[in-house]
Amino acid sequence: MHLYRAIAIIIATLGCSSPALAGCWPSESFPIVCWLDTYGLACEQHRTLTTAEAYTVQWPRASTYKFAFVDTWTAASEVACPATKTTTVIASWDRETGKAEEWEQTSGAYRYVYCNRSPWTGQGPNTPTLCSGPAGDPQAKLPVTPYLLSDAQKNGLLYIDEPTHTSCQITEPTSAFGIPTTVNSIVEVAVAHHEFQNIQWHVFWQDNEITPPHLPGPDLTQTEYTERRIATTRRSFRLNKPGQWRIVATATPSFQLVQFAWSIDCTVLFVAN
């Protein structure tokens, strides 16, 4: 304890009598390490992003990312600076609530804020980004990783990485298994998906893929988007035979570059009598 007090007194004295800069931090090898820069040049921090990737998520309402960045410090040779530090961050944006969150895996630090657009990709309404959090909450802070992303990295996340890691979700009908209906009934299926995914439809009768039976009216597929860009594609089908029907929506990234590499299916089952 006497050592800490002595160091504090020395730093305070130097701070009042000269332009020198000083600082202290915990060290793995020593109880505390301090630097004293008599040239007036403090340690300069440099942060470099090393990892930026999307995680697979079960619902199209959310995007989840993994980021890693490295902090290094430089100064004159006479100055001792902190050691290089690597930080891993898990981040997410909920398109329905607008909640943007970050967890630092190494330190356990957590922060969140509510934004009308994604802080990482800018996805959302065509309006300026607005973020806010409850007053007085120390965890209500802006995320730090968006500022490390280049425009190319943001576009890569939005147009390629997210669409290859986002599952689709059958939203209508609300039950997806063994729904009873009658022969020649017309059913509508709606699937929620990422904004930059295409939906391909496949119809199976008794486990055999068939061409969808003709509808009495136009055979239309409609896609709508929420303000924060959750897509919903819907289509109607006529079940013209008795037995089990399986309608499969296949979501693939919109960009041809990655379509061949990934797809995911959403399935709904009907039983026509």
Which DSSP string corresponds to 117-147?
Answer: S-TTT--SSSS---EE--TT-TTB---SGGG
Predicted pLDDT of residue 40? 43
> What's the mean pLDDT when you consider all of the chain?
83
Q: Nearest-CA neighbor of 192 among 236, 237, 233?
A: 233
For the whole model, what pTM was predicted? 0.77
Q: Which of 3-17, 64-78, 183-197, 247-261 has the lowest mean pLDDT?
A: 3-17
Q: Give per-residue pLDDT as tens, 177-235.
A: 778 899 999 999 999 999 999 999 999 999 999 999 999 888 889 999 999 999 999 99
Q: Nearest-CA neighbor of 89 among 146, 150, 134, 140?
A: 146
Name the DSSP letter for residue 5.
Answer: H
Q: What does the domain layout of the chain look like in residue ranges? A: 1-42, 47-161, 169-272
Q: Is the pLDDT of residue 66 over 70?
A: yes
Topology (CATH) of 169-272? Immunoglobulin-like (2.60.40)
Q: Is the pLDDT of residue 9 over 50?
A: no
